[in-house]
Chain A
Amino acid sequence: MRLLIPRAPQLKRAAWLLFALVALCVLWELYKAVMPDDGVAIGDTLVLPRTDDASMPHLADIFGAFGDPEVAGAAQASTVGSAVVSAAWYSLRLAFAGFVVGSLVGFALALLMQRVRIAERALMPWAVLSQTVPLIALAPLVYGWGANLTLFGLDWQPWMSVSAISAYLAFVPVTVGALRGLQSPPTVQTELLACYAASWWQTVVHLRLPASVPYLIPALKLGAAAAVIGAIVAEISTGLAGGIGRLIITYAQQATGDPARVFAPIIGAAVMGIIAVGSITVVDIALRRYQGAEV
């Protein structure tokens, strides 16, 4: 618990974060007040965005939208806010499932690459290349494959396609970070373990794994963020109901009538990302003793 009590530098950082958020809000309104409604164009190209109320709603309208009823005059009035929260929670769980699978695959790959030198040179380019495939195209493909797939007696559910995309985006940062971490111990330590007749696995458990923690934590943070992005993009491409991606599409379609509303799920998505990365910080604190000497 002692570790969770904020100290001066952490409070300072939190204060700066708050200041940055407030400054962003001020900037938003300032820009809106100063710039022309139609934006700034050079020739035919729009260089600075439009500032009319349809394109850039006032902050008050944006935050107000959270309280609006989802469907005007419906019998069961649920607010936009609560819709965003439940959709974000749904998507977060899908992203989490993808993140767990992606991290396990990433770590297993890193172990393989550490064990077999050829594997690193052979597989790493493919791993990096895999990330350049456009997700928008990949997601419906995975969705289509999944429709006819039955694994271990379970029918492939549509949500699994979204998690699969999350896993796909999460595994590469974890592979790269884990491999660097596993290869990080200095020669003197790996030689010492050889002198103690340690097997490869013993060397991994007692030396490489603990040494990899400072590299693994940032990699997991990247993987968590990537998993969230993957889930949202996959939801948008496949139109999966219940997720925040679908909500973004729905509200975007209603944008002519209520321009402020579409920002609500976008803010929700951002908060999702923050929660995902923040949860890795908890892991970070738990593994504090492996973080290396304090100078």
Chain B
Amino acid sequence: MTDAVIVTGVDKRFGTGPTAVQALDGVDLVVGPGEFVSLIGPSGCGKSTLLRIIADLIPPTAGTVVVAGKAVGTARLDQEYGIAFQQSGLLEWRTVRSNIELPLQLSGMGRAERRARAMELLELVGLAEFADHHPSQLSGGMQQRVAIARALAPSPALLLMDEPFGALDEMTRERMQTELIRICAETGAAVVFVTHSIPEAVFLSRRVVVMSPRPGRITAVIEVPEVTRNEDFREDERFYAAVTEVREALRGRLATA
């Protein structure tokens, strides 16, 4: 199986001259098939920028990115990845089901096939009864579940997520994390997950990539032990150890690049 993402020597500079900002400097990263990787770091470390470069929303100043074995542009056109942002971005005038169908509609899938796929995804995220509701009738957590279902619609090998649970309260957030683990296990998608929350990064990922700003670069990669991700894990010693490790990396006491 091809690696989900291969980032090689990526630089990103915004602006020119003395006021230029080096958002990313020499970033290398490989995400294997089905692997869950988190990007964590303080504001300005370039994690969202890196995600956007992988998504082909902005071009890198230097370096290459390969997604599912293709150049990023081709990967985007072929819908090789699904993406979810902090705001759900659901279209208010469409029903929940119709919102999930949107990427499929744009790529030309037939009506019956789209409907079936949308229902399948609604079952997956546990919102089948809300198929004909409108987004404004759903809570924040439910809207994000719809956004995740929509991201999975073209059955991508890669999910890109930019702080999707950032706007939710803590209890909903923990529930959604457990949901996401289950969904990823069922679909086998690799995930690149940007977050500000250390416990969230540790709970969800196999590897936590720690970044720091000015210039944006990877300063450490923390491996989280292979343990079943359920509510028990949150109380596990190894969870706390990993959280501490990430915290110390963020503070700069570790220097493994």
Specify which of A191, A197, A202, A294 is in contact with B136 (CB 8 Å cutoff): A294
The answer for the CA separation of A202 and B87 in the assembled complex, in Å, is 22
On whether the beta carbons of A206 and B106 are closer than 8 Å, the reply is yes
Q: Contacts A290-B93, A293-B134, A294-B136; is A197 near B102 (CB within 8 Å)? A: no
A121 within 8 A of B: no
On whether the beta carbons of A207 and B57 are closer than 8 Å, the reply is no
On whether the beta carbons of A192 and B106 are closer than 8 Å, the reply is no
- By a CB distance below 8 angstroms, the chain B residues around A292 are 92
Closest chain-A Cβ to B78's Cβ sits at a distance in Å of 8
The answer for the CA separation of A195 and B91 in the assembled complex, in Å, is 15
Specify which of B77, B105, B136 is in contact with A293 (CB 8 Å cutoff): B136
B89 within 8 A of A: yes
Specify which of A197, A290, A293 is in contact with B107 (CB 8 Å cutoff): A197
A188 within 8 A of B: yes
- By a CB distance below 8 angstroms, the chain A residues around B56 are 195
Q: Which residue of A lies closest to B84 (CB)?
A: A192
On whether the beta carbons of B55 and A195 are closer than 8 Å, the reply is yes
Is chain A's interface secondary structure helix, strand, loop, or mixed overall? helix
On whether the beta carbons of B87 and A188 are closer than 8 Å, the reply is yes
Contact pattern, A 176-199, Cβ under 8 Å of B = 1, otherwise 0: 000000000010110111111110
On whether the beta carbons of B57 and A194 are closer than 8 Å, the reply is yes
The answer for the CA separation of A189 and B105 in the assembled complex, in Å, is 16
- By a CB distance below 8 angstroms, the chain A residues around B76 are 194-195, 197
A140 within 8 A of B: no
- By a CB distance below 8 angstroms, the chain A residues around B93 are 210, 289-290
On whether the beta carbons of A189 and B91 are closer than 8 Å, the reply is yes
Q: Contacts A289-B93, A294-B136; is A191 near B87 (CB within 8 Å)? A: no
Closest chain-A Cβ to B197's Cβ sits at a distance in Å of 20
On whether the beta carbons of A189 and B106 are closer than 8 Å, the reply is no
Task: Among A196, A202, A207, find the residue whose CB has the most chain B CB atoms closer than 10 A.
Answer: A196
Interface size of A as a range: 20 to 34
Specify which of A191, A193, A197, A290 is in contact with B77 (CB 8 Å cutoff): A197
Chain A stretch 199-215: residues in CB contact (< 8 A) with chain B: 202, 206-207, 210
- By a CB distance below 8 angstroms, the chain B residues around A210 are 91, 93
- By a CB distance below 8 angstroms, the chain A residues around B87 are 186, 188
- By a CB distance below 8 angstroms, the chain B residues around A192 are 83, 85, 89
Q: Which residue of B lies closest to A197 (CB)?
A: B77
Closest chain-B Cβ to A275's Cβ sits at a distance in Å of 29
On whether the beta carbons of B107 and A196 are closer than 8 Å, the reply is yes
Closest chain-A Cβ to B18's Cβ sits at a distance in Å of 27
The answer for the CA separation of A34 and B249 in the assembled complex, in Å, is 87
Closest chain-B Cβ to A244's Cβ sits at a distance in Å of 39
- By a CB distance below 8 angstroms, the chain B residues around A293 are 92, 134-136
- By a CB distance below 8 angstroms, the chain B residues around A196 are 79, 102-103, 106-107
Chain B stretch 57-92: residues in CB contact (< 8 A) with chain A: 57, 76-79, 81, 83, 85, 87, 89, 91-92
Q: Which residue of A lies closest to B135 (CB)?
A: A293
The answer for the CA separation of A210 and B87 in the assembled complex, in Å, is 19
On whether the beta carbons of A191 and B57 are closer than 8 Å, the reply is yes
- By a CB distance below 8 angstroms, the chain A residues around B92 are 292-293
The answer for the CA separation of A188 and B107 in the assembled complex, in Å, is 19
Q: Contacts A188-B85, A191-B57, A194-B57; is A206 near B134 (CB within 8 Å)? A: no
- By a CB distance below 8 angstroms, the chain B residues around A189 are 89, 91
Chain B stretch 94-116: residues in CB contact (< 8 A) with chain A: 102-103, 105-107
On whether the beta carbons of B106 and A188 are closer than 8 Å, the reply is no
The answer for the CA separation of A210 and B94 in the assembled complex, in Å, is 10
On whether the beta carbons of B89 and A186 are closer than 8 Å, the reply is yes
Q: Which residue of B lies closest to A292 (CB)?
A: B92
Q: Which residue of A lies closest to B153 (CB)?
A: A196
Chain A stretch 273-295: residues in CB contact (< 8 A) with chain B: 289-290, 292-294
Residues of B within 8 A of A (CB): 55-57, 76-79, 81, 83, 85, 87, 89, 91-93, 102-103, 105-107, 134-136
Other CB < 8 Å A-B pairs besides A191-B85, A195-B55, 18 of them? Answer: A188-B87, A188-B89, A191-B89, A195-B57, A195-B76, A195-B81, A195-B83, A196-B103, A197-B76, A197-B77, A197-B78, A206-B102, A206-B106, A207-B91, A210-B93, A289-B93, A293-B136, A294-B136
A-B contact list, 19 entries, CB within 8 Å: A188-B85, A189-B91, A192-B85, A194-B57, A195-B55, A195-B57, A195-B76, A195-B83, A196-B79, A196-B102, A197-B77, A197-B79, A198-B106, A202-B106, A206-B105, A207-B91, A289-B93, A293-B92, A293-B135
